[in-house]
Amino acid sequence: MARITYGRRRVLVTGGAGFLGSHLIDRLLARGDEVLCVDNLFTGDKSNIDHLAANPRFEFMRHDVCFPLYVEVDQIFNLACPASPIHYQHDPVQTTKTSVIGAINMLGLAKRLRVPILQASTSEVYGDPHIHPQVESYWGNVNPIGIRSCYDEGKRCAETLFFDYYRQHALDIKVVRIFNTYGPRMHAADGRVVSNFIVQALQGHDITIFGDGSQTRSFCYVDDLIEGFLRFMEAGPDVHGPINLGNPNEFTIRELAEAIIAQTGSRSRLVTMPLPADDPTQRKPDTTIAQAELAGWEPTVELEEGLRRTIAYFRSALKIA
């Protein structure tokens, strides 16, 4: 899949010190843009962007998107929000505020500047789905008062705000629904299944599977997702989404664990724990719209290769030979 090149712009990335944000910034700088990275470092990590400190086209600002931001930019990527259950359940009220008030503040900035804005939404808006794979027209099956609701409903409300700003103010919005994404710079203790399994395998601990391991996920390597972000932003003012971005290849959680054990050479055992409340049993994106609207976008990194790169990252980060 050929990469697309673009002209220079000043781009704002909220949540830019996080896993996805830092990879997005790398691509933006590589294509010649200037980047303003905004992050309150609640879950973001300065180590993800330390390698950019000497770049004259990169600027970091410590700021919480729950408060207004007055800057001048040409594009906005709104990625600010804790995205793993451990982090977003730590302070659920703040998680909802980040999704909702943060969206209001970033939409207000985009409206003032009349610039396009991309919202990083999530496949969690589908909840525990009754249809499979998930298509963008599906309204979802979400518990509004559960322990995951701060994230699920916060993102759903943010989508509502984005489309109301589009209808009411003719704002150029882009709403992307992200399916499970993995790769280097994931937080080692964020509770996500790929990082959990890799860290446990590398450290020789038991690999903890919640449920019987038959639940499924579709795992997208971070480079493929970021390419989708860039294509979406360049798709023109008539393409708003929501658009699913993810890898449609589906694996059981047990298959993932076994693949990681094989690649790491670990002797870890698989142990099962009760499934957490509202944990979806199936997750797989229908990417038909993405392929049609985003210049033929499709994932190119298969799970085996993506795991190899991610395991190598964690070996280095955890200093494991």
Task: Reply yes or no on whether 182 is catalytic.
Answer: no
Q: Which tokens go with 88?
A: 């977003």
Number of domains in the chain: 1
SS3 300: coil
280, 127 Cβ separation under 8 angstroms? yes
Q: Is residue 5 part of a domain?
A: no
Position 1 in a domain: no
Segments forming the whole domain that contains residue 131: 10-317
* Packed helices 253-264 and 303-317: angle between N→C axes, nearest 10 degrees: 60
The enclosing domain of 257 has a CATH number of 3.40.50.720
Q: Is 217 within a domain?
A: yes
The first and second tokens of residue 180, run together, are: 């499970």
Judge whether 76 lies within some domain: yes
Query: Are 230 and 280 spatial neighbours (Cβ–Cβ below 8 Å)?
Result: no
Cβ within 8 Å of residue 312, ≥6 positions away: none
DSSP letter string, 119-152:
EEEEGGGGBS-SSSSB-TT---B--TTSTTHHHH
pLDDT in tens, the chain (321 residues): 444 445 579 999 999 999 999 999 999 999 999 999 999 998 899 999 999 999 999 999 999 999 999 999 999 999 999 876 777 777 899 999 999 999 999 999 999 999 999 999 999 999 999 999 999 999 999 999 989 888 899 999 999 999 999 999 999 999 999 999 999 999 988 888 999 999 999 999 999 998 888 989 999 999 999 999 999 999 989 999 999 999 999 999 999 999 999 999 999 999 988 877 767 788 899 999 999 999 999 999 999 999 999 999 999 998 886
Q: Is the pTM of this model over 0.75?
A: yes
Q: Which residue has the tokens 């830092």?
A: 22
Q: Is 3 domain-assigned?
A: no
What is the three-class DSSP state of 157?
helix
Structural domain includes residue 2: no
Among candidate residues 320, 148, 138, 118, the one with its CA nearest the CA of residue 234: 118
Q: Residue 198 to residues 10, 220, 306: CA-CA distances in angstroms? A: 36, 16, 12
3-state helix, strand, coil in the chain (%, to 5): 40, 20, 45
DSSP label of 274: P
Q: Choose, from 151, 165, 182, 221, the residue flagged as catalytic.
A: 151
d(CA 112, CA 166): 13
| Element spanning 196, H or E | helix 193-202
Decide if 277 is inside a domain. yes
Nearest to 14 by CA among 50, 42, 55: 42
